[in-house]
Amino acid sequence: MIYGNLQVVAGNANPRLADAICRDLGIPRTPAKVDKFPDGEIDVRVEDHVRGNDIFVVQSTCPDVNDHLMELLLLVDALRRASAGRVTAVIPYFGYARKDRKDEGRVPISAKLVANLLVTAGVHRVITVDLHAAQIQGFFDIPVDHLYAAPVLAEHFRQKAISDLMVVAPDVGSAKMARGYAKRLGGDLAIINKRRIAADHTEVTEIIGEVAGRNILLIDDMISTGGSITEAAKACRKAGAKDVYIAATHGVLCGSAREKLEACGAKEVVLTDTIPVDLAGVEGLFRVLSIGPLLAAAIDRVHHERSVSALFVRREEGMS
Ligand code: R5P
């Protein structure tokens, strides 16, 4: 082993997930103070020795994307200055990922800038889950372990043994992901043609596939304003679908997303805990499944220099 002990440090984005990972790894979380100075600047101190060790910083860049990104950068800087042997940023939800190309004049490629910032801060490798666009891995010239929540989410629906299942992609961009779930669950695939009118307003133009009389699983990488997936759910129901289930890896749930999801007629909304989800008032409709065991397994494999892709062998049989 090149590096010393495995340690997990976390910022304020998702301490519960960090603790779940530590429980699975059988180690205590390395304490760190992550606070704010009175002027709003972020104040960080890692409270234990890290010299020579293999450090995993667990921090989604959400729900408070800018503060949580800055906390992550400062933690990495502190760890490098404290002579950590290797620093891996474990970013279950990678924010700014939707700005991954210059699709009009005078706009940034935010995902690339975030990648540059992480590397400049001193990150040696990244572990992340269901990047909005898998190509973002190429924004880094360091190893990126890109994990999929599919085994966690698909297992939930496999246990439900939903009959007449049609997996529906709420837009063309999520078609590949939906096809993987359809293969895993033994259902058919339909794709929705979506038009985005504004950041929080989408419109369904057509459903490619016959959803009438079928039970529907709508699957996406994230639910942000909830517009895409709730419009898709309503369109499926209008087209004669039976039960509509919704699943997504990342529950960003900004603005009135919760209300939209409650009102769209879905039977269940299933998310993972890459981002903490406040279930107050919506406990009946929502299910949150933990990605902690998968992340712990990946961290353990990285630490012991074992294959991470081996975690996904069974899954790849059903993915394309
Ligand atoms: C789109 O490309 C993504 O996969 C999601 O469908 C989208 O970002 C979700 O955003 P919202 O919930 O605001 O419609």
Q: What is the pLDDT of residue 314?
A: 58
Do residue 275 and residue 296 come from a single domain? no
Do residue 75 and residue 134 come from a single domain? yes
Q: Looking at ligand 1, which residue's alpha carbon is closest to its atom 5? A: 222
Structural domain span for residue 62: 6-148+292-312
Q: What is the pLDDT of residue 77?
A: 98
Residues 6+ apart with CB under 8 A from 89: 57, 59, 72, 76, 118, 123, 125, 126, 127
Helix (H, G, I), strand (E, B) or coil at 275: coil
**Residues contacting ligand 1 via CB (< 6 Å):** 98, 170-171, 173-174, 202, 220-228
Do residue 140 and residue 160 come from a single domain? no
Q: What is the pLDDT of residue 317?
A: 44
Q: What is the pLDDT of residue 318?
A: 39
| Distance, CA of 238 to CA of 190 (rounded, Å) | 15
Long-range contacts of 233-237 (CB under 8 A, 24+ apart): 233/264, 233/265, 233/266, 234/204, 234/264, 234/265, 235/192, 235/204, 235/207, 236/168, 236/207, 236/211, 237/265
- Pocket probe mutation, ligand 1, options 93, 94, 222, 252, max atoms within 8 Å of Cβ: 222
Q: Which atom of ligand 1 has the smallest separation from the CA of 196?
A: 14
Helix (H, G, I), strand (E, B) or coil at 83: coil
Q: What are 13's two structure tokens?
A: 């984005």
Q: Which atom of ligand 1 has the smallest separation from the CA of 170?
A: 6
| Distance, CA of 101 to CA of 107 (rounded, Å) | 9
Do residues 105 and 63 touch, judged by C-beta distance below 8 A? no
Q: What is the pLDDT of residue 94?
A: 98
Mean pLDDT, each 10-residue run in order, the chain (320 residues): 92 98 98 98 98 98 97 98 98 98 97 98 98 97 98 97 97 96 96 89 92 98 97 97 98 95 97 94 92 98 97 58
| Distance, CA of 95 to CA of 179 (rounded, Å) | 24
Q: Which atom of ligand 1 has the smallest separation from the CA of 231?
A: 14
The answer to whether residue 317 sits within a structural domain is no
Do residue 141 and residue 158 come from a single domain? no
Do residue 87 and residue 21 come from a single domain? yes
Do residue 226 and residue 272 come from a single domain? yes
Q: What is the pLDDT of residue 313?
A: 77
The answer to whether residue 320 sits within a structural domain is no
Q: What is the pLDDT of residue 279?
A: 84
Q: Is the peptide bond before 92 cis (omega within 30 degrees of 0)?
A: no
User: For the chain, what is the radius of gyration of the CA atoms?
Assistant: 20
Q: Looking at ligand 1, which residue's alpha carbon is closest to its atom 1? A: 173
Ligand 1: distance of its center to the CA of 241 in Å? Answer: 22
Q: Which atom of ligand 1 has the smallest separation from the CA of 202?
A: 14
| Distance, CA of 153 to CA of 80 (rounded, Å) | 36
The answer to whether residue 307 sits within a structural domain is yes
Do residue 193 and residue 276 come from a single domain? yes
Q: What is the dihedral of CA 264, 265, 268, 273, to 10 degrees?
A: 10
Do residue 229 and residue 281 come from a single domain? yes
Do residue 142 and residue 154 come from a single domain? no
The answer to whether residue 108 sits within a structural domain is yes
The domain that holds 97 is classified in CATH as 3.40.50.2020
Amino acid at 14: N
Supply the pTM of this predicted model. 0.96
Do residue 23 and residue 138 come from a single domain? yes
Helix (H, G, I), strand (E, B) or coil at 144: strand
33 assigned to active site = no
Ligand 1: distance of its center to the CA of 227 in Å? Answer: 7
Ligand 1: distance of its center to the CA of 46 in Å? Answer: 36
Do residue 120 and residue 28 come from a single domain? yes
Q: What is the pLDDT of residue 169?
A: 98
Task: Give how far Cα 151 sits from Cα of 18, 45, 64, 185, 289, Å.
Answer: 20, 36, 27, 11, 11
Do residue 132 and residue 186 come from a single domain? no
Ligand 1: distance of its center to the CA of 222 in Å? Answer: 6
The answer to whether residue 49 sits within a structural domain is yes
Residues 6+ apart with CB under 8 A from 141: 119
Domain count, the chain: 2
Catalytic residue among 176, 194, 234, 242: 194
Ligand 1: distance of its center to the CA of 311 in Å? Answer: 27
Q: What size, in residues, is the chain? A: 320
- Pocket probe mutation, ligand 1, options 131, 196, 220, max atoms within 8 Å of Cβ: 220
- Pocket probe mutation, ligand 1, options 228, 246, 259, 260, max atoms within 8 Å of Cβ: 228
Letter string b/e over residues 74-94, b meaning 16 or more CB atoms within 10 A of that residue's CB: bbbebbbeeebbbbbbbbbbb
How many Cβ atoms from other residues are within 10 Å of residue 163's Cβ? 10
Do residues 242 and 213 touch, judged by C-beta distance below 8 A? yes
Q: What is the pLDDT of residue 283?
A: 85
The answer to whether residue 125 sits within a structural domain is yes
Ligand 1: distance of its center to the CA of 15 in Å? Answer: 25
The answer to whether residue 78 sits within a structural domain is yes
Do residues 213 and 234 touch, judged by C-beta distance below 8 A? no
Nearest to 246 by CA among 195, 282, 292, 296: 282
Ligand 1: distance of its center to the CA of 320 in Å? Answer: 22
Q: Looking at ligand 1, which residue's alpha carbon is closest to its atom 13? A: 225
Q: What is the pLDDT of residue 319?
A: 42
The answer to whether residue 27 sits within a structural domain is yes
